[in-house]
Structure 1
C-alpha cells in the first residue's frame, strides 16, 4: 500500500495491493452500518474489531486514513488517536485524544449532566475538569468509568469507528483500558481499528497481540509491495514514461517498503531526475537520504536554526505547537516560521505554523531518526528547556514531567517540586503508575534533605495498591529520615500500618503503631493510632493476648461519647469485638447504634480504610438484623461508586452482601453477588484477602444450594485450602474448608481442620457460634467415632448461642445438637430450633430445621406432623434456592407416602395483607395467641406469618418495629 504523498504530503493517493485488507474494512463497516452489501436491505448493525500488525513503513497509517475516509463517507462518527514515542509516559494521552474532542466543547452543566456520577472520576483523567478533593479513584474504577463514557458515546453517536494508530506507543493506562474494552466492541455499534508494530510492543502492550484481526481471526498483516506495484506507484507519481528498469530499481532499493518508495519518488521529482534506466544508478543514494544518516545529512544542510527547530519538534513529540517548538529551540517567531517552511519543503514536517495549527513529522520513522540524532547532552538540555516552556505556557506540571524524566539528576529543588506536583495531579486523575515514575525520578534528583521523607511518603502512597512490598520499603525509609513535621510522620505511620496489614503482615502493622503510640504526645493522634492498632489486632490470627486487648477496648469505648470519627471507629471496633466474643446481642446492637450516630462514611478518607464501617454493618447481620446490614451496604457501595473504588473495595462489598443474602436464605441472589465479587477479586490478584473472602463465601453458598461437587471444584480452581491466611476472614476460611470436607464425606480430615479452627479461635475469645460455627460442624464430623465428645461440643455451642441471644444462632446450634443427640431427644431439640428460627430472618436455616423435624416425625410415626413440617420445609427451601434441600424434603415425603405439593411461585419481598396484619400485632407487643384471636386465625398460622415477615424484612422480632418504619 502507498499514498502518493505519505503521511503529510499532498497530491492524489492510490492504495496498492491492499485489496483483501480493504475488503475486510468494507465488510466491517457494512456490518456496523447495517448495510453490508451496498444497497442491500439494512441488517441489524453490530460492531467489530480490526487489528493491523506490521513493521514500520508498510502503510498502517495510510490504511487507517482510508478507514477514516470510508467511515465518514458512510456517516459514521470517527474517533482518532495516535500513540507517540515521546508521549508513552503521559497517562491517558491516547484516551484524551479519543474522547476529549467529543466532550470538551460542552458547557460544564451539560458535561456534568452527560457524565453523571462519572464526572469527578473520569473528568480529570480526560482533561475535562480539575480533580476534586477526597480519595482518588482506583485504576479499575477509572477504567470502568472510561468504559461507560466510550459505551455512552458509541450508542449516542452510532455508528462509531474508533481508530488508534501506533498503538505500540500508547501510554500504559490508555492501552490497558482499550485492550480490556476491545472484546465489547461487537456488542456495540462500534468498530475498533488498531494498528501497531509487533516487534516494538512494550511489555504493557502485550495484550494487543491477542486482539483479533476480524471476528476472532489473526491480526491483519501488511506485506511489502511487489515490483509491479512499485512500478505502478512510480508511474502514477512521475508519469507513464518511467521505464521498467527504473521502476525495478526503485523496488530494489526500497525493498518494496511503501513509505520509502513514496519518499523516493518525491526526491526524484524534486531533483528533476528523468525516470529512465540512465538515471537508475542514482536511486540508491536518493533512497539513503529518506531515512537514517542520509536523512540527518539532508537535515543538516538546511542550516543550524532549522536543525534546532527540528530537534525541538522531535523532543515535543506529536501534535507539536509551533510556539512551543520555537521556545524550546530558542528561535523568534519569524525564524521559527522560516525553519518550519524549510522542513515542510524537505518533507520532514507537515502542518501549519499558525496560532491554532500543529506540526507533525511526515512519518514516525523520520521523528525517531531526528530524535536519535540529537547529541546526548543537547537532548537533555532540550528536554529541560521543554519543561520550562510548557510550564510557562500554562500546561501544568504533568505536561512538563515527561521532559523532566529525561534530564540528568542535579540536586535541583525546582525539578523535585514540579515532579511532586505532577505526581499529585496524576494520582488524583487515577494513574498511580505514572505518579510513581515521577516520584522515583524526584528521589534520584535528589530532593533537599528536609523534603526527602515527604517524597518517600508520596512515593509509597502511590505504590500502595499495586506494589505493597515496594511501598513498605519506601515508607520504612521515610520513617528513618529526620521528620520534623508531626503530621507527616503520623501519615507515614498510618500508611505503613495499612499496607503491612493488607499484605498479611498484621503483627508488624500492630508493632509499628505500638512504637509510635509510646512516643506521641498529642492525645487525639494517640487515640487515632490506638484505633488503628485495635483494628489490625482484631484481624490477627496470631494475636498473643486477645482477651486483654478486648478488655482494654471495652474500657476505652465505654467512656468515649463518639464525638468524632476516631471515637466512633473505636466504638465500632468494640461492636465487632462483642460480636466475636458472643456478648449478648443487646450489647452488640447498643454499640453499633452508637458508632453510627455521627456517621461512618465508607470512602471518606483513604487513610482510614473501610474496615470499621463494614464490621459495624456485619454486626447487625449476626445480631439477626440483616435488613439493616443491607441498608448500610447499599450506602457503602454508593460511596465506593462515587469515589471510583472498583477494585478490592467493591469486591469486598459484593462478597459480603452475598454473605448477608446467604444468611437470609436468598441463595440464588447470594451466588450472583459473590460471583461478581470474585470477578473483581481476580482483578486484584490471587491470594489477596478479597480473594479469600470471595472464594470462601462462594463455597458456602454452593454447599447450601446442595452443589457439593461444584463447591469442590471452586475450591480447587481458586486455591482455597491450606495454608490459610494469617488474617481473620469471614466466613472463617478453615471452617469453610472443614465444612466442604464434611460434605464430601471426608470426616476425619474435616474433624482435623475444624478442631484446628477451634484451637485457633477459642483462646482468642472468639466464641460466638453465630459468627463461626466450627463446633457445629465438628460435632457432626465426630458423631460416629466420638459421640460423647460430639454431644459435648454441640451442647457447649448451644450455651454459647443462648448467651449471644440471636434466634438464628440458637436455632442453628440446636439443630446441630439434635443431629448428634440420642433419638429420644432429637424431636424436642428440633422443635425448639424451629421455634427460634421462626423468629429470625434466617430462611435457609429454618428450612433445614423444618425438614429435619419432618424427617424425625416421620421416623417416629407421626405422619400428620411430618407432612406439615416437610411441606413447609420444602416450600421454604424452594424459596431459598436450596435445591439439594428440596430434593431431600421430597425424598422424605416420598418415604412417608406423601406427594409433594406443587410449589408456589417465587417468593417476593412484598408483605401480604395477612402478613402485614400479623406484623402490626407483633409491633404492638401481642403474643401470637392474642394476635390469632384478633385476626381470627390459629396460633400456628400467626407464627408462620410472622416467620415470613422476619425473613422478608430481614430482622428478628425485637427489630421489627424499626425495620417496618424504615
Structure 2
C-alpha cells in the first residue's frame, strides 16, 4: 500500500532476501522508536529492488512481527521516479506526497498546508518550476515541505519510500538531505532504491546521505541456486531437484524477474522441476532469451545491436574496444550500453553480457562469414591493445580455415602461456590450429604430440606415427621415435616393429654424428624391453661429464635417462641428477617425465621430495582439460607405488582405487594401480582377494611391453603366492623374474628385488645354501646403489640364510640400516627376523623389543597379519601386548592411551602432566612414542589417524618372511 497504513493486501513472497528484509525492518523499528535513518537499496536493473520495496510497504517481509504498511503503526508514502523526473524540479517530492492530495487548486486549503507549510506550494504544482537548484530560493520550499512532514510525524511514524531514486531530481534529493539532517529524535525512515548501473547527475546529496550516522546500504545480489529452488518449489508446489534449480539460476543469471518469467513458461509447457525439466529450462530459457533479444533490437537503433554483437564477440569488461569493433561512435556506444542495461542484457556491475544464453542469442543470427570477420577484427584489436596471447587466441580458435601467419604466431605464443601455467590440453588446442597452417612442420607435430600425451596417449601416438612417416631425415625420425617410445612406455602400450623405433635405432647405429640420438632411443627401447645394450651406450666418464655440464634436453629424454641410469646402470648419483633436472624444469607437473622422475627419487630413498612432487602432479591432474582420466590415473598410480614402498598401505590403496576410477574412462587401463592394490591386499592379510585381482591384470609380454610393469607383475604374483602358503610357486616366479632381469640387463637392487625375496623363500623352505649366490648378487648391486634401503635389504637377505652369531649380527645390521630408510615394512620385517632369531637362541629379553617394534611398525602400516605374527612371538618371549584388532589404538600402551585421550580432549602437555601426576618429560616421552607408532608428526593428526578404518582380519598362514 502507499500513502496509508493499515491491513495489506495478499502478502508477497520474497525469496533469498531474508538478510535484506531483516535489515530494512530493523531500521523501521528503530525509526518507530525515534531513531531516524536512511536505507539505500542498490543493485542493477531487474535484481528485485522494487519487489523488496513493495514487500516493505505491505509488510510481507516482517512475518515475525506481523507488521503491515512498512512496520507496526508506521505510515508509508511511496513514490517512483521516472526518466522525466530527472529534469523536473521536485518531481520526486511530488511523487512521494501525491497520495496526500496536495496537488491542484485546492492544495492551499488542505489541513496539512497551514502556516509555513504553504511555502511548499511551488514544489507541489507539476511543471511550475524547472529552474536550476539555488539554495536561497529553495530554502523556503524546504521549510514548507518539512512542515508537512512534521505534521504527519505528529500523528505516527513515517516512512518515505522512493523507488528508482537514481532518476530523482536534484531538488528532491537536496530536500531529503535537508530533512534527514533535522530528523534527529523523529520517527522517520527514508528508503531509497537506486540502480548501480546509472550514476546520478549530481552526487552531492548522495554523499550527504552516506555521511549520516544511521545510513545503511543494502546491496542486492543475484539469487543463489537455493533461493531459485525455493521460488520453483513455490511455483510448482512440489519438491525441486537441485539440478533444476541450478540450471534455472544459471540460465537466468540469478535475476528474480527473469527467473519468475521462465518458471511461469515452464509450468505452461508442462515441465516438472526435475532433471528433465533442467534440460527443458535451458532450451526454453534460450528461446525466451533469443525472442526478447530480437524484440529489443527491433525496437532500438541498429547501433544497439552492433554494440551487443561486439560485446558478445569480445567478451566481458572491454569497454574501450567495443565501439571500435562495433563501428560506432563513443556516444552511440554509451547510449547502447545504457539501453542494454535497462533491458537487463548486461551482467550486474560489469560491461559484459549477463549470460551465455544471451551471448548465443546475439550471435546465432549472424552469417558464418560475418562472424569470422568480426572475430578476426576482434583478435587484431586485442593484439594491438596488448591483451594476453591466450585472450586473442580464443577468437582465433573459433575461426574456420587455416590461420594466417600472424594468427599462427599468436597461437604459438598462447600455447607457450598455457603450457607455462600448467594447462597442456589448452596449449594443444592452440597448436592443432597452427598445424593446420603448417602440416609439414615436424618439430611442431612433435611438440603437439608431447602436449596431447598428457591427456590422450592414443591421440599422441597417432601424431607421432605420422611424424615418423613425414620426417625429412634420420635425425628427425630419431626424435619422433624417442618420443613415440616414451609415450608407449607411459601408456603401457606395445611398440610396433613396422617402420617403428626399432628400425630407426638400427639405422642410427650405423650412422655417423647421431650418437646422442642413438643413446636416447636405445634407452627408451631398453625400458620397453625392445633393445639390448650395445656399443652406443655411454661409458662412465661420459655420465660424469654430463653431470658437470648439463645440456638442455627434452623432459621425456631426461626422464628416460634417469630411469636407465637407475634401473640398468645402477648409478644412483647420475639417476637422481637427471631426475631432479626434470623436476626443476618449467612445465606441467602432471606429466609422465615428472612422474617417472619421482619414481627414480623414491628408488634413491628421497621419498619426501618424490611425494611432494607427486602431490602437485595429482592436484594438477584434477583440473586437467580435457579431462580424459589418463593423467589422473598415471599420477595416482605413481603415488600409490611410492606410498606402498614406504609402508603406507591404506594411503597407497586409496590412490590405487582413485587411479582405477580415473582409468575406467580410458580405452586401456594401466596395470600399475592393480599391481599396487594386489600387493597391499597381500600385506594386509587378504591374499585371496589379491590373487583374484592379479588374474584380471593384462601385462604385455616382453619384448613388447614396459619392463617395469612386467617385473612388478612377477614380483607381486610371487609375494601373493607366498602369502597363500605356496612357497615353491612363489620361488619359481621369483627365479623367473631374476632370469628376465638378467636378460634385460636390469641391475637396480630395490626395484623388484627378486634376489632378496628368493632368499626369504629359500630360508622358509630350509634350503639356505641355494640362496647364497642370490644374496651375493644382490649385495653387490646394493653396495653400488648405496641407499639405506638397498643396504638394509641386502643385510636382511644374508641374515635370514646365515646361521649362528654371524646371521644374528647381519639381522641386527639390517634392522639398524633399514631404520634410516623410508621403507617401514622392510624395517618391520628385519625387526621381526631378528626378534625371532633371538627368541630361537633363548635370549627372550633381547628378542622382546625387536618383536614389539615389528608388531608396532607392521600394525601402523596396516600389515595386520605380520603384526599378529610378531605379537604371538612377543608373548612367547614373555612380553605383553593387547590383541590386535586392526584399530590404531592397539599400538599404544595403557599409559599412552591415557595421554592421547587427554590430547584429544584439548589438554596441553602441562595440563596432562598435572592430571596424571607425572612429569612433563614423561608426557613428552609418551607422545614421542605415540607419534612414532602411529606414523604422525604433529598433535593435530592424532584424531584423524585414530579414526582410520581397521584392517580386515587375516585368515592366512602366519607371516614368516
- Normalised to the residue count of structure 1, the TM-score between the two structures is 0.52
1:469 correspondence with 2:458: yes
**1:36-435 alignment runs, 5 A limit:** 220=245, 255=268, 296=294, 299-300=297-298, 302-317=300-315, 319=316, 321-337=318-334, 339-340=336-337, 347=343, 349=345, 358=351, 360=353, 367-409=359-401, 412-435=404-427
- Aligned partners of 1:640 and 1:29: how far apart in 2? 47
Match of 1:545 among 532, 551, 566: 532
1:514 correspondence with 2:505: yes
Q: Say if 1:738 and 1:753, in contact at 8 Å, map to a contact too.
A: yes
- Aligned partners of 1:365 and 1:572: how far apart in 2? 46
**1:511-910 alignment runs, 5 A limit:** 511=502, 514=505, 517=508, 526-527=515-516, 529-540=517-528, 542-545=529-532, 548=534, 552-554=537-539, 557=542, 560=545, 562-565=547-550, 592=573, 596=577, 600=581, 602-604=583-585, 609-610=593-594, 614=598, 617-618=601-602, 620=604, 626=605, 629-630=606-607, 633=610, 651=636, 654-655=639-640, 657-658=642-643, 661=646, 667=647, 670-671=648-649, 674=652, 678=656, 681=659, 685=663, 696-697=675-676, 700=679, 703-704=682-683, 707-709=684-686, 713=689, 721-723=697-699, 726-729=705-708, 732-746=712-726, 750=730, 753-766=733-746, 771-775=751-755, 777=757, 793-804=770-781, 805=783, 807-814=791-798, 817=801, 830-831=807-808, 833-838=810-815, 840-841=817-818, 845=826, 848=829, 851-852=832-833, 855=836, 863=842, 865-879=843-857, 881=860, 883-895=864-876
- Aligned partners of 2:286 and 2:599: how far apart in 1? 71
- Aligned partners of 1:434 and 1:694: how far apart in 2? 27
Q: What is the DSSP-based 3-state SS (H/G/I as helix, E as strand, rest coil) of the residue aligned with 2:818?
A: coil
Higher RCO structure (Cα 8 Å, ≥6 apart): 1
How far the C-alpha of 1:471 sits from its partner, in A, is 1.7
How far the C-alpha of 1:743 sits from its partner, in A, is 0.7
RMSD over aligned Cα atoms? 6.2
Q: Rate the CA distance shift 1:690–1:876 in 2: closer, same or farther, 3 A.
A: farther
Q: Rate the CA distance shift 1:358–1:558 in 2: closer, same or farther, 3 A.
A: closer
User: Could you tell me which residue of structure 1 aligns to residue 907 of structure 2?
Assistant: none
User: Could you tell me which residue of structure 1 aligns to residue 488 of structure 2?
Assistant: 500
Q: Rate the CA distance shift 1:751–1:599 in 2: closer, same or farther, 3 A.
A: closer
How far the C-alpha of 1:469 sits from its partner, in A, is 1.5
Q: Say if 1:735 and 1:774, in contact at 8 Å, map to a contact too.
A: yes
- Aligned partners of 2:477 and 2:228: how far apart in 1? 48
- Aligned partners of 1:572 and 1:457: how far apart in 2? 17
Q: What is the DSSP-based 3-state SS (H/G/I as helix, E as strand, rest coil) of the residue aligned with 1:565?
A: coil
Tell me whether 559-568 or 396-405 shows the greater mean CA deviation: 559-568
Q: Say if 1:854 and 1:867, in contact at 8 Å, map to a contact too.
A: no
Q: What is the DSSP-based 3-state SS (H/G/I as helix, E as strand, rest coil) of the residue aligned with 1:395?
A: coil
Q: Rate the CA distance shift 1:456–1:845 in 2: closer, same or farther, 3 A.
A: closer
How far the C-alpha of 1:255 sits from its partner, in A, is 3.8
Q: What is the DSSP-based 3-state SS (H/G/I as helix, E as strand, rest coil) of the residue aligned with 1:358?
A: coil
Q: What is the DSSP-based 3-state SS (H/G/I as helix, E as strand, rest coil) of the residue aligned with 1:401?
A: helix
- Aligned partners of 2:257 and 2:620: how far apart in 1? 56
- Aligned partners of 1:556 and 1:343: how far apart in 2? 73
- Aligned partners of 1:387 and 1:358: how far apart in 2? 19
How far the C-alpha of 1:462 sits from its partner, in A, is 2.9
Q: What is the DSSP-based 3-state SS (H/G/I as helix, E as strand, rest coil) of the residue aligned with 2:725?
A: coil
- Normalised to the residue count of structure 2, the TM-score between the two structures is 0.52
How far the C-alpha of 1:735 sits from its partner, in A, is 0.6
How far the C-alpha of 1:693 sits from its partner, in A, is 5.1
Q: Rate the CA distance shift 1:684–1:719 in 2: closer, same or farther, 3 A.
A: farther
How far the C-alpha of 1:327 sits from its partner, in A, is 1.9
Q: Rate the CA distance shift 1:377–1:636 in 2: closer, same or farther, 3 A.
A: closer
Q: What is the DSSP-based 3-state SS (H/G/I as helix, E as strand, rest coil) of the residue aligned with 1:441?
A: helix
- Aligned partners of 1:290 and 1:652: how far apart in 2? 48
Q: Rate the CA distance shift 1:366–1:62 in 2: closer, same or farther, 3 A.
A: farther
Q: Rate the CA distance shift 1:61–1:454 in 2: closer, same or farther, 3 A.
A: farther
Q: Rate the CA distance shift 1:469–1:332 in 2: closer, same or farther, 3 A.
A: same
Q: What is the DSSP-based 3-state SS (H/G/I as helix, E as strand, rest coil) of the residue aligned with 1:373?
A: coil
Structure whose CA Rg is larger: 2
- Structure 1: unaligned runs, 5 residues or longer: 1-13, 31-37, 40-58, 74-160, 166-190, 197-212, 225-231, 238-246, 259-286, 621-625, 662-666, 819-825, 909-947, 953-966
How far the C-alpha of 1:762 sits from its partner, in A, is 3.2
